[in-house]
């Protein structure tokens, strides 16, 4: 009998392997950016996420932080999460070593078409990002998954906490940006949910944005902290 998709994803969480490491890395950091592409995100909110991420990457202080690294470079990839079992890998790994690199990456990010995703499946997105880090074409001394969202994990085939444990066992740090959606009433504040179920690894942290217009400032501060 062929295994179900749920069984295959569950089996994947039990397979642990170290991300690419080397004494002489190609870049200092593998950074996988994951934004919220779920059905709760309208067109304006979606645009603000894309533009905020692009603006943060191009900020002079982010470029300065990269320039202070030993290799003076990081590698960045970008994905969006939503549909259970089907997060979207939008942009592949790209070496960022200066303004031209980041401008080209930001341009591709802004031009990429939207994939319409459904319910919140953070665990499946973390599993995808972990696999992307495992297969990255660059060697690095650190690896980080950077997830942003305005809702909790709801319908993952692989629960967020299980996906987190797999990533952390491989030496990957997961940080989160909690977007406090206006009018959202929650039994547990979103930042606390991300602390309990999403983030993990060395020096992991959650930052919060008051709303989507605060997203660019929040992700800029987050990037500087992660790179430095």
pLDDT at residue number 42: 80
pLDDT at residue number 26: 95
Radius of gyration of the chain measured on its C-alpha atoms? 16
d(Cα 200, Cα 161) in Å, to the nearest integer? Answer: 9
pLDDT at residue number 39: 73
- Return per-residue pLDDT of the chain as tens, 228 residues: 433 333 333 443 333 334 444 456 899 999 999 998 887 778 888 888 899 999 999 999 999 999 999 999 999 999 999 888 888 899 999 999 999 999 999 999 999 998 777 778 999 999 999 999 999 999 999 999 999 998 899 889 999 999 999 999 999 999 999 987 665 556 678 999 999 999 999 999 999 998 767 888 999 999 999 998
3-state secondary structure of 132: helix
Which two structure tokens, joined as six digits, stand for 104? 């080209």
pLDDT at residue number 7: 38
Q: Which residues pair with 121 in a beta bridge?
A: none
Q: How far is CA 179 from CA 82, 167, 172, 211, 223, in A?
A: 15, 23, 23, 6, 16
> Measuring CA to CA, which residue among 206, 170, 212 is closest to residue 189?
206
pLDDT at residue number 25: 86
pLDDT at residue number 185: 55
């Amino acid at each position: 009998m062929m295994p179900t998709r749920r069984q295959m994803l569950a089996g994947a969480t039990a397979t642990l392997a170290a991300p690419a490491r080397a004494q002489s890395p190609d870049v200092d950091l593998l950074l996988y950016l994951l934004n919220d592409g779920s059905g709760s995100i309208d067109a304006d909110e979606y645009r603000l996420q894309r533009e905020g991420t692009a603006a943060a990457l191009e900020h002079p202080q982010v470029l300065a932080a990269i320039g202070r690294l030993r290799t003076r470079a990081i590698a960045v990839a970008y994905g969006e999460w939503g549909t259970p079992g089907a997060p979207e890998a939008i942009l592949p790994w790209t070496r960022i070593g200066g303004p031209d690199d980041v401008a080209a990456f930001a341009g591709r990010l802004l031009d990429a078409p939207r994939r319409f995703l459904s319910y919140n499946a953070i665990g499946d997105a973390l599993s995808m990002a972990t696999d992307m880090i495992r297969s990255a074409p660059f060697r690095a001394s650190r690896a980080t998954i950077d997830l942003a969202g305005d809702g909790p994990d709801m319908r993952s085939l692989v629960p967020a906490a299980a996906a987190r444990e797999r990533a952390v066992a491989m030496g990957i740090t997961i940080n989160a940006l909690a977007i406090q959606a206006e009018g959202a009433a929650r039994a547990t504040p979103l930042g606390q949910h991300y602390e309990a179920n999403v983030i993990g690894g060395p020096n992991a942290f959650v930052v919060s944005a008051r709303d989507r217009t605060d997203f660019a400032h929040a992700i800029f501060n987050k990037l500087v902290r992660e790179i430095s």
